[in-house]
Structure 1
Amino acid sequence: MREIGISVYPNFYPLDQIKNYLEKAHSFGFKKVFVSLILNNHGFEGAEDVNANTWNNILNYCKELGMTVSADMNDEVFNELGCTLTDLTALQKMGITKLRIDGGFTGEEIALLSKNQQGIQIEVNASMSSSDNQNGNALRECREFLETVEKEGNIDQLTACHNFFPLPDTALSLENIRPINNLFASFGVPVGGFVASQLSPKDLHHLGHGVCTIEKHRFLPCHIAMSELFANGFDDVLIGDSFADLSELAEMARCYKQDYIEIPVVFNPFVPQNTKMKIQESILISRVDQPANLIRATDTRGMEVPPCFCAPRGKFTISVLNYRSAQYEGELQISLKDLGQSVEHNVIGFVHPFAKDLLPYLLAGRNKFRLVEYK
């Protein structure tokens, strides 16, 4: 089941501010929280040490809200907390529901951890598994690891999540991680990732922009990036930055609840209001007999469409067929390449550049979609 979440960093903010952010996110339907118990180990500028009382307060508040907590730690912190490979009672008492492994454990040790009787999920770093894909070593080693957990551990208590990358140009590409995500999915292991807030303070890198998993998502609205991750089979999507704006939380929560992909559109100003309303009210699906040059949605056929602005159809423009097209009148099309002018096509607008990379997930009826006016 898909879930959305946030990240909190008491290394930068007072407890009251953290709790207020948690409460707001919870009210929007966010259910997951990422925390790092080793943030200071990475040398983030301005990060302060967090005492045990503050951590306990945050973790207890998450528990009160019913939010699950993934805690990032290494073997050193693991040992300091009094945990062993066969007993994670200390984490259970703290309110940690997922232990994210950040180095220091072998595959056999992770398999043993996955059998813990406290019901703590063990999360591995999926990004490290995709670091050497050119010669296939990463996939082979990851498969061997998953087979070890399946044989010697409890794979039902194993999850995976990709890293986030605060420094620009260091994040991953979807193309490179698809094979590893598919491998985890074949073993029934959920995979998570991070999206960036465009309005959060830049705490994790003062010269950076956005704490995300996928590089091309760094400057995208978080709900658009989330939609692409979900379309790629991600199970969990979390905001990596410290404080997303309430407007971002609201948009992400709204789109998360939908069973279709939302495509923001810039409408031409002359489009009749009734046509615009009809189009935006419709849940559309592209025909499975996928054309080479465009997306076709026939769900809007039946509208009365007089000819208007029969302009050249540039790449990513949206057209509605007018009455000159006879039985095709009302059909909606999205151009996937520059196409010529047609007296049968009214050009009503274009897909906002933010959303152009969502279009491949609409092809051949792969996902339902809805056009909404970009504001």
Structure 2
Amino acid sequence: MFRRLGISVYPDNSVFEEDLAYITFAKAQGFERIFMSMLEVTQGKAAVAEKFSKIISAAKALSYEVILDIAPNIFDELQISYDDLSFFAELGADGLRLDAGFDGNKEAKLSFNPYGLIIELNMSNDVAYLDNILTYEANEPYIYGCHNFYPQEGSALPLAFFNSCSKRFKKHGIRTAAFVSSQVATGGPWDINDGLPTLEMHRHLPVEVQAKHLFATGLIDDVIVGNAYASEAELVALGQLNRYQIAFTLDLLPTANPVEQEIVLENQHFRRGDITSQMVRSTQVRKDYKQENPPHDNEQIFQVGDIVIGNDQFGKYKNELQIVLEPHRDERKNKVGSIQKDELILLDYIRPWTKFRFKS
């Protein structure tokens, strides 16, 4: 399934002109969907319609997919029924995210709404919610899944629980989404905002590292920045991500010679299928590069995340690239750089035959 990037806007807590500038810049960076919260609406139906239709119209002109986040109280506030979704269709939305669930049959019926609105389900519960809905013969192409975000420090999901929840959706081929948190944005739906990630381990990481991690799990198709407004630098960094394979950010040593630099940065790497626990081995490069490689930076104990390349003392293994997984010493290998500390979490996703790249 194609992977996408998304942003969030909060029309009840923002100014239209600022929202417009934000979504326009994000679109230029390759963003394709918008999460738009309606949980905070307190005005009447006419005022809500005017405000939301204006920003949705602008988003649709930029070819965004727009999903509105709704809860039962919104229907009461706007005096509309779950049995008639015409209000949201008239706003121009592509779908509705149900913050709260029903009995399964209700969601299945909603997926057959006459307006073709996508029904996005809450993924952040490790129960058979989706299975129940599908039992009622839901319209599967119009069912998405999206995790929650968590404004309070310490309240977001642990990784193991996130994995379990996500696998319930992924096994059915449902499009999935989760949130990452800008490190500078302050906007959100509530008065508490310690960041808006899905995973607690992400809360204080650079936003592009969070996104790399979510994509690396293989469980998430759409990565959405939960808080607004992410900085232009953050949006650019996200837009430049390789969404389909891990591209480690590398601190390259100045002593790395030109051949080593080319081996590291200019090649498609993959881990051998017959793996070892001590290192990730990229062996094709040793077959492609026969140049001499004198020893340097080869007498220390290599640490987890170090990038080493076989030197002239390593015989047939000269110019083989390895990522260190367990500390060890071997003078037949030159250290050429290290994976940045924040990205060491990505090493868990380099499995047998996994493709990966480096950038400096």
What SS is found at the alignment partner of 2:183?
Answer: coil
What SS is found at the alignment partner of 1:159?
Answer: strand
Q: Distance in 2 between matches of 1:68 and 1:81?
A: 23
- Whether 1:193 and 2:178 are equivalent positions in the alignment is yes
What SS is found at the alignment partner of 1:364?
Answer: coil
Q: Distance in 1 between matches of 2:92 and 2:113?
A: 15
Q: 1:203 to 1:98 in 2, by over 3 A?
A: closer
Q: Distance in 2 between matches of 1:286 and 1:306?
A: 25
Q: 1:248 aligns with which of 234, 245, 256?
A: 234
TM-score w.r.t. length of structure 1: 0.87
TM-score w.r.t. length of structure 2: 0.91
Number of aligned residues = 350
8 Å contact kept, 2:260–2:336: no
Q: 1:319 aligns with which of 290, 297, 308?
A: 308
Q: Which residue of 2 aligns with 1:18?
A: 19
Q: Distance in 2 between matches of 1:37 and 1:281?
A: 46
**C-alpha RMSD of matched pairs (Å):** 2.1
8 Å contact kept, 2:187–2:229: no
Q: Which residue of 2 aligns with 1:343?
A: 331
Q: Which residue of 2 aligns with 1:46?
A: none
> Could you list the runs of 5+ residues in structure 2 that have no partner in the other structure?
none
Q: Which residue of 1 aligns with 2:28?
A: 27
Q: Distance in 2 between matches of 1:204 and 1:157?
A: 26
What SS is found at the alignment partner of 2:14?
Answer: coil
Q: Distance in 2 between matches of 1:325 and 1:104?
A: 60
Q: Distance in 1 between matches of 2:88 and 2:50?
A: 15
Q: Which residue of 1 aligns with 2:96?
A: 99
Q: Which residue of 1 aligns with 2:132?
A: 145
What SS is found at the alignment partner of 1:62?
Answer: helix
Q: Distance in 1 between matches of 2:238 and 2:67?
A: 20
Shift of 1:13: 2.4
8 Å contact kept, 1:166–1:208: yes
> Could you give the per-residue CA deviations for residues 25-63 of structure 1, whole angstroms, max 9, x where no partner exists?
11111110011111368xxxxxxxx74322121011111
Q: Distance in 2 between matches of 1:184 and 1:104?
A: 15
8 Å contact kept, 2:186–2:195: no
Equivalence map 1:1-375=2 (5 Å): 1-39=2-40, 51-78=48-75, 81=78, 83-103=80-100, 105-127=102-124, 129-130=125-126, 138=127, 141-142=128-129, 144-149=131-136, 151=137, 153-201=138-186, 208-232=193-217, 233-256=219-242, 258-301=243-286, 302=289, 303-310=291-298, 311-339=300-328, 341-366=329-354, 368-373=355-360
> Could you give the per-residue CA deviations for residues 156-211 of structure 1, whole angstroms, max 9, x where no partner exists?
21111000011111111221122222221222221110001112236567775421
Q: 1:21 to 1:362 in 2, by over 3 A?
A: same
Instruction: Determine what percentage of the aligned residue pairs are the same residue.
Output: 29
Shift of 1:85: 4.0
8 Å contact kept, 2:280–2:323: yes
Letter in 1 for 2:156: A
> Could you list the runs of 5+ residues in structure 1 that have no partner in the other structure?
42-49, 131-137
Q: Distance in 2 between matches of 1:320 and 1:27?
A: 38
